Amino acid sequence: MSPQFSQMSLRADLVRIAQWVQPNSSVLDLGCGDGALLGHLKQTKGIRGVGVEISDERVLSCVQRGVQVIQQNLEDGLAMFDDQQFDTVVLSQTLQSMHRTEHILREMVRVAREAIVSFPNFGYWPHGWSILRGRMPVTGQMPYDWYDTPNIHLCTLKDFERLAAKFDFTILERATFNDEREVKSFAGWRSTLAAYRFTAARS
């Protein structure tokens, strides 16, 4: 498989995340799904990667891709990993479904020098319009009804940036998207998805 074809098969946020990862580095992918990102990074950048995933089916897909994977619930934490064991840790489109949001973010910057998250942007303007009409929003990025959604901690770009400041994280880069298109202006209103690359102050 060519690098061009591999990249085309990734979601837009994963393409940007892959660009942020340094060649020949070590990467931990939390909630790695079918291993598409780690497989791409291994093929195109020669990274040493480990994934964490709970789904039996997705773990099998990772193994079939040749991706090293640990089957575990992320809510149990990352105690199996040492401090600064990885160069980069990734949590893509999973933060909003975590019960212990603060804990997982602190654990990410403990186990890696840099952290990357992506999540749906609840500030996307049609969401506000839907609430004004008396309904919880249902969109392509958040396709669930209120009673069966796994998304329990929704936030806007400013919400995440305020939390990062509270934790003394330094945001290195931000990218925002609407479907597969990158959004450059009025991102807080126009983007459906955000990705952040950040690090923590070291004592």
- Domain span holding position 47: 3-122+153-200
- 146 within some domain: no
The confidence score (pLDDT) of residue 128 equals 57
pLDDT tens string 167-183: 999 999 999 999 888 99
The confidence score (pLDDT) of residue 130 equals 64
Looking at the structure of the chain, the number of domains it has is 1
CA gap 184, 187 in Å, rounded:
6
The confidence score (pLDDT) of residue 171 equals 97
CATH number, domain of 194, equals 3.40.50.150
The confidence score (pLDDT) of residue 189 equals 74
- 135 within some domain: no
- 96 within some domain: yes
The confidence score (pLDDT) of residue 98 equals 84
Q: How do strand 193-200 and strand 112-120 relate by DSSP bridges?
A: antiparallel
- 116 within some domain: yes
Residue ranges of the chain with pLDDT lower than 70? 1-8, 124-133, 135-152, 202-203
- 142 within some domain: no
What is the pTM (predicted TM-score) of this model?
Answer: 0.85
The confidence score (pLDDT) of residue 163 equals 95
- 8 within some domain: yes
- 140 within some domain: no
- Contact present, 92 and 31 (Cβ < 8 Å): yes
- 110 within some domain: yes
